[in-house]
């Protein structure tokens, strides 16, 4: 406030105290920026692609990947299948496998049966340990060719299957097989199903040898691939919006689809011993 010289001799009057300066504009701006960044990070972390893992019998490789995805520090919605005509597990000899039906025999039933047959044999070859892991992940093996995309899967949530939350609608964004013949079977079956949902789905194959040690390595690699894909998907939605994403349309979805081969190529450089394939198919 300007000083009035007419008050100089009054003695009883004094100038008003100066008005305090406003807070630095940078403080408010920084707070808004931090809040916006925090909201963006929260949105990116909350978004999750939905995955499907597939091997021949829904026992070893697909189940290790299912476990990894569903129990990650930031879990993914995931379902898993086999592509064989029957579930086959090693038996006393190569000509005497243990054979079960998909969709109707639980992992616990298999565990109990093999335990009663020859606990020592099936403990030593790792089958009992594998089945024990499987029954703590989901109820039992499912066959991919019997899956109806878009059919509700709410019973899997009630059964306590890991990764079931988020898959209730019966759709996935990516399918990851663990053997080339399984990839062929999945791609052929999707074509035979006729794309009833007209929804794009990325189909990968990560070639993993069918033993317990390689399955552990493959499961770790698949989790990393899923994480990279999810980061790109969240980034595209942040920049371009999520309109149409659930229907497989919109700018963000198209941009994500175009970047998937780049993501896979970068991932393959780190995992050269796990040859990969990719195609875009339709549910």
Provide the CATH number for the domain around residue 156.
3.40.50.2300
pLDDT score for 36: 42
Residue 126 DSSP SS3: coil
Asked if residue 27 has pLDDT above 70, the reply is: no
Average confidence (pLDDT) over 39-47: 54
Is beta strand 276-282 parallel, antiparallel or unpaired with respect to 200-206?
Answer: antiparallel
Indicate whether 263 belongs to any domain: yes
**What is the dihedral sign for C-alpha 245, 187, 161, 65?**
negative
Domain for residue 186, yes or no? yes
Window from 21-35, 55-69, 94-108, 245-259 with minimum mean pLDDT: 21-35
Distance from C-alpha of 241 to C-alpha of 233, rounded to nearest angstrom: 11
Q: How many structural domains compose the chain? A: 1
- Is residue 101 in a domain? no
- 176: domain range? 49-84+146-282
Whole-structure pTM over 0.85, yes or no?
A: no
27 within a domain of the structure (yes/no): no
What pLDDT score does 9 carry?
A: 42
Would residue 218 count as lying in a domain? yes
- Answer yes or no: is 92 within a domain: no
Phi, psi for residue 235 in degrees, rounded to 5: -65, -45
Average pLDDT of 202-221? 97
Mean pLDDT of the chain: 88
Domain for residue 119, yes or no?
no
* Count of beta carbons in the 10 Å neighbourhood of residue 221: 22
pLDDT tens profile 138-192: 999 999 999 999 999 999 999 999 999 999 999 999 999 999 999 999 999 999 9
With respect to residue 113, please indicate whether it lies within any of the assigned structural domains: no
């Amino acid at each position: 406030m300007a000083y009035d010289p007419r008050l100089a001799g009054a003695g009883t009057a004094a100038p008003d105290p100066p008005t305090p300066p406003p807070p630095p504009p940078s403080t408010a701006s920084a707070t808004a920026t931090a809040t916006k960044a925090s909201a963006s990070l929260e949105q990116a972390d909350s978004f999750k692609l939905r995955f499907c893992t597939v091997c021949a019998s829904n026992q070893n490789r697909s189940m290790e990947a299912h476990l990894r995805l569903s129990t990650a520090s930031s879990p993914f919605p995931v379902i898993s299948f086999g592509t064989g005509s029957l579930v086959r597990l090693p038996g006393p000899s190569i000509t005497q496998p243990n054979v079960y039906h998909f969709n109707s025999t639980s992992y616990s039933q298999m565990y109990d049966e093999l335990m009663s047959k020859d606990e020592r044999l099936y403990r030593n070859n790792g089958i009992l340990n594998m089945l024990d892991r499987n029954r703590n992940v989901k109820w039992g093996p499912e066959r991919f060719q019997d899956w109806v995309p878009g059919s509700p899967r709410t019973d899997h949530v009630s059964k306590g299957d890991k990764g079931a939350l988020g898959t209730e609608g019966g759709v996935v964004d990516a399918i990851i097989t663990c053997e080339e013949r399984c990839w062929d079977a999945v791609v052929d079956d999707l074509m035979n199903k006729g794309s009833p949902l007209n929804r794009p789905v990325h189909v990968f194959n990560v070639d993993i040898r069918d033993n317990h040690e390689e399955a552990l390595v493959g499961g770790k690699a698949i989790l990393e691939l899923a994480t990279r894909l999810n980061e790109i998907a969240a980034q595209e939605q942040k920049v371009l919006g999520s309109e149409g994403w659930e229907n497989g349309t919109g700018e963000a979805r198209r941009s994500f689809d175009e970047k998937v081969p780049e993501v896979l190529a970068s991932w393959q450089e780190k995992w050269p011993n796990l040859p990969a394939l990719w195609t875009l198919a339709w549910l």
